[in-house]
Structure 1
Amino acid sequence: MASKLRQLQSKACQASQFVTKHGNTYYKQLLEQNKQYIQEPPTVEKCNELSKQLFHTQLASIPGRSESFWKELDYVKQLWKNRHEMKVEDAGIAALFGLECFAWFCAGEIVGRGFTFTGYYP
């Protein structure tokens, strides 16, 4: 166990040295590649303006999202009406999707409780 701890410390030290050596270069390169997204001057007022633009842009996208939702719902209704014609593959995909949603729900519940498992354990 102690040898694994030393290996981990050694790797962490190597990673730290690598970041120290190459981090500044990577940072400058990243800023250079994305300079079209940087707002000048970087003031609080500019940040507030961008925040408001993002908020209102998201608000403006609601009708399009709503329309897409209703189209998807109509598609599901049509599938349900014609369920006797549904293939086994389609039913399997739907079942896997439902199972995935349930698993994400369970994972979210566990995370929401602070990664604790509750319940009856004999």
Structure 2
Amino acid sequence: MASKLHQLRAKATEASNFMVKNGSAYYKQLIEKNKQHIQDPPTVETCQNLSNQLFYTRLTSIPVRYEAFWKELDYVKHLVKHRHELKIEDAGIAALFGLECFAWFCAGEIIGRGFTLTGYRA
């Protein structure tokens, strides 16, 4: 355990030294590259205004997303009603989607257990 702590400390020191040497150059490059996204003046009021714009823009998009959800649901209902006309490609896409959902569930379970496969911690 002590050796892992020593390794972690060494890696943190190495990362810190790298940031001291290259951090400001990286910061300047990042700001220059993304200059079009920066609002002037960079004040608290500007940030609050942008935050409000984002919130209310997302709020106004709810009806559009609500309608899209119901269209998708109607499409799924149509597929279930006419499943005898279902193509193998559609069935494959549905199976892959279900598999992906299951994989994300399993990944979440593993993360929730602290990245252990069995739940046992040594």
TM-score (norm 2): 0.70
The residue aligned with 2:6 is none
Percent identity over paired residues: 70
The residue aligned with 1:5 is none
The residue aligned with 2:119 is 118
Ranges of 4+ aligned residues in structure 1 off by more than 4 Å? 19-23
User: Superposed, which structure 2 residues align to 1:34-49 within 5 Å?
Assistant: 34-49=34-49
**Aligned equivalents of 2:67, 2:24: Cα separation in 1:** 46
**Aligned equivalents of 1:108, 1:26: Cα separation in 2:** 33
Q: Return 22-31 or 79-88, whichever deviates more.
A: 22-31
The count of residues paired between Structure 1 and Structure 2 equals 112
**Aligned equivalents of 1:47, 1:32: Cα separation in 2:** 19
Question: Secondary structure at the residue paired with 2:41?
Answer: coil
Q: Summarize deviations over 1:33-77 as a string: whole Å, max 9, x none.
A: 322211222222222222222111111111111111111111111
Provide the aligned C-alpha RMSD in A: 3.2
User: Superposed, which structure 2 residues align to 1:38-117 within 5 Å?
Assistant: 38-116=38-116, 117=118
Question: Secondary structure at the residue paired with 1:114?
Answer: coil
**Aligned equivalents of 1:85, 1:108: Cα separation in 2:** 36
Return the offset for 1:30.
2.4
Q: Which amino acid aligns with 1:38?
A: I
**Aligned equivalents of 2:29, 2:76: Cα separation in 1:** 47
TM-score (norm 1): 0.70
**Aligned equivalents of 2:32, 2:78: Cα separation in 1:** 51
Return the offset for 1:89.
2.7
Q: Which amino acid aligns with 1:114?
A: G
